[in-house]
Amino acid sequence: MAGFGRLLSRIFFWSYERGSWQYDIAVILILIFVLGTPTRWFHDQPQVGHSGDLEVYRVDARILAPPERTPALQNDLHNALQKSRADLGDGRFSIGKIEAIRDAEGNVIAYQVEIHH
């Protein structure tokens, strides 16, 4: 049993030499996990609604500034949308309306953001 514990310890602390079969197995398992994990397990993508050249996104409030519409909030929203969407990566969009979405206690949980291309 001590051999099994040592094996788990070496795997957890990544102590196998590069190029060994144990190292290769660990890398393969990591790749299977990363590439095989369903995207529905992760909820960090903005929700999108299309209407002509106007798009509406929902951005989680935990990654942004306080709920008042400030230049910092608008800048944070612009950066978050630019990083999260490949089609917005060039940064050529403007933010129109920002609406705070609140939970039952009145805490801001997300922002609904209209953008114009």
Q: Where are the domains of the chain?
A: 2-37, 47-116
**pLDDT tens digits along 65-105:** 555 556 777 788 788 888 887 777 787 778 878 888 888 88
Q: What is the pTM of this model?
A: 0.41
pLDDT of 51 > 70? The answer is no
Residue 96 host element (H or E): strand 94-102
pLDDT of 39 > 70? The answer is yes
Three-class secondary structure of residue 82 per DSSP = helix
CA–CA distances in Å: residue 61 to residues 14, 28, 47, 50, 89:
36, 36, 13, 21, 21
Residue 106 host element (H or E): none
Q: Give the model's pLDDT for residue 32.
A: 92
Average pLDDT, the chain: 77
CA gap 85, 113 in Å, rounded: 14
